[in-house]
Amino acid sequence: MPLLLAGGYFVAGMTRSPEKVRILENVGAKPILCDVYDPEDLEASIVSFDPDIIISLLTDLPDHARYVRDYSERNNRMRTEGVRNLLSAARAADSPKLIVESVAWTLERESAEAVDIMEKMVWEYGGIVIRYGRLYGPGTYYQNDLPAKPRIHVDRAAILTAESILSEEKIIVIADE
């Protein structure tokens, strides 16, 4: 968000956590308190903001890496139902450009299926899928160690994500070579 704000964009950040509203305000974004699983509220929020671009980083992941497997069903739901609701809301908002995060590594069966469904929905909409390597650096699961490849430093990923708003590619891979 800071890079987009510094580039002169008016940025909103959506969260379903009231505690995170202040974080969004502190970085200069307009906070939108909304649950992606509430399609009517989601649609109203997006239509009201009237975005030119939606960058979706929707996930449902734990604060600690050791619990990722425990959250896989929740995160798979976010990738399917959550993104489906987001696409519907985007259509109601006159179909702005849409960029959705994905992963650049192989996942286990159910998670791989959820990612496949999500990516197909995004492409049918006409959107862009960014496949990120595992993030490392401040605020990630890998603050002091390097994760397995593919990987990308969180600061570099932010720069490349901000640059992606100008892209017409349908798949962008953001990972170290």
Over the chain, what HEC string results? Answer: CHHHHHCCCCCEEEECCHHHHHHHHHHCCEEEECCCCCHHHHHHHHHHHCCCEEEECCCCCCCCHHHCHHHHHHHHHHHHHHHHHHHHHHHHCCCCEEEEEEECCCCCHHHHHHHHHHHHHHHHHCCEEEEECEEECCCCCCCCCCCCCCEEEHHHHHHHHHHHCCCCCCEEEECCC
Q: How far is CA 121 from CA 5, 79, 114, 124, in A?
A: 28, 10, 11, 5
Answer whether residue 177 shows pLDDT above 90.
Answer: no
User: 53-174: what fold?
Assistant: Rossmann fold (3.40.50)
The whole-chain average pLDDT of the chain stands at 96
pLDDT single digits (tens) 112-134: 999 999 999 999 999 999 999 99
Q: Are 11 and 26 in contact (CB under 8 A)?
A: no
Cβ atoms within 10 Å of 36's Cβ, excluding its own: 22
pLDDT at 176 over 90: yes
Categorize the per-residue pLDDT at 27 as very low, low, confident or very high, splitting at 50, 70 and 90. very high
**Domain ranges for the chain:** 53-174
Structure tokens belonging to residue 88: 């519907």
Confidence label for 157 from pLDDT (cuts 50, 70 and 90): very high
pLDDT of residue 30: 97
**CA 86, CA 80: separation in Å to the nearest integer?**
10
pLDDT at 90 over 90: yes
Query: Would the pLDDT of 37 be above 80?
Result: yes
Q: Taking residues 67-78, what's their average pLDDT?
A: 96
What does the pLDDT read at residue 150? 98
Residue 39 is encoded by which pair of tokens? 């399609």
Task: Give the residue-averaged pLDDT of 97-117.
Answer: 97
